[in-house]
Amino acid sequence: MPQVNMTVNGKPASGDVEGRTLLVEFLRETLDLTGTHVGCDTSQCGACVVHVDGKAVKACTMFAAEADGAEVLTIEGVAAPDGTLDPVQEAFHQHHGLQCGFCTPGMVMSAKALLAENPTPTEAEVRDYLEGNICRCTGYHNIVKAIMAASGQDVSKIAAE
């Protein structure tokens, strides 16, 4: 089996993979990074979103072999090493942006990709960007609110609490 080498959350990571090994399988099963979730495995739900070379991708729809040499960021690498939450994580916490939490790793990774591209998105832009992230619990309002808050905008008038 060929070996892949990549940087995951700032640290070198390598392992043997089959051609068909998905990036999400490599992360969860080889590296034991189970924060990245598999909701659908059919490219629809976004629970598996991670960043590869700074871009949000569905880790269930990319082969591990294709991430050879890449920089991968997963939800485990988002908070500071001392445990201080990233502003997006903190905002999800403050604004009740999750219920069961299953979609949350993907939501946070998508939100971080959005804010990197567009630091002060409108509510419509946030909703549009989350097109590929499905949440079965929250009804999205507080997720949108959390992301707007993480961008430093006043969210007192946005959506429902």
Partner 1 sequence: MYAFDIERPTTLADAVKLLAASDENQALGGGQTLIPTLKQRLAMPEVLVSLTAIDEIKGISEDDEGRLCIGAATTHAEVAAGAGKYPALAALAGNIGDPAVRNRGTIGGSLANNDPSACYPAAALGSGAIIVTNTREIAADDYFEGMFATVLDEGEIITEVKFPVPEKAAYMKFEQPASRFALVGAFVAKYADGVRVAVTGASEEGVFRWSEAEAALGSNFSPDAIERLSLSGDGMISDLHGSGEYRAHLVGVMTKRAVAAAG
Ligand X SMILES: Cc1cc2nc3c(=O)[nH]c(=O)nc-3n(C[C@H](O)[C@H](O)[C@H](O)COP(=O)(O)OP(=O)(O)OC[C@H]3O[C@@H](n4cnc5c(N)ncnc54)[C@H](O)[C@@H]3O)c2cc1C
75 touches, from ligand X, ligand FES, partner 1, none (C-beta below 5 to 8 Å by class): none
Query: Looking up tokens 């880790």, which residue turns up?
Result: 59
Distance CA 6, CA 136 (A): 33
55 touches, from ligand FES, ligand X, partner 1, none (C-beta below 5 to 8 Å by class): partner 1
Torsion, Cα of 159, 125, 103, 54 (10° steps): -150
139 touches, from ligand FES, ligand X, partner 1, none (C-beta below 5 to 8 Å by class): none
Work out the number of other CB atoms within 10 angstroms of the CB of residue 46.
24
30 touches, from ligand FES, partner 1, ligand X, none (C-beta below 5 to 8 Å by class): none
136 binds ligand FES (CB under 6 A): yes
52 binds ligand FES (CB under 6 A): no
Structure tokens at 97: 């942006």
Considering only residues 65-104, where is the footprint of ligand FES by CB under 6 A? 98-103
In the bound complex, what is the minimum distance in angstroms from residue 21's beta carbon to partner 1?
9
Contacting positions for ligand FES (CB under 6 A)? 38-41, 43-48, 58, 60, 98-103, 135-138
Contacting positions for ligand X (CB under 6 A)? 43-44
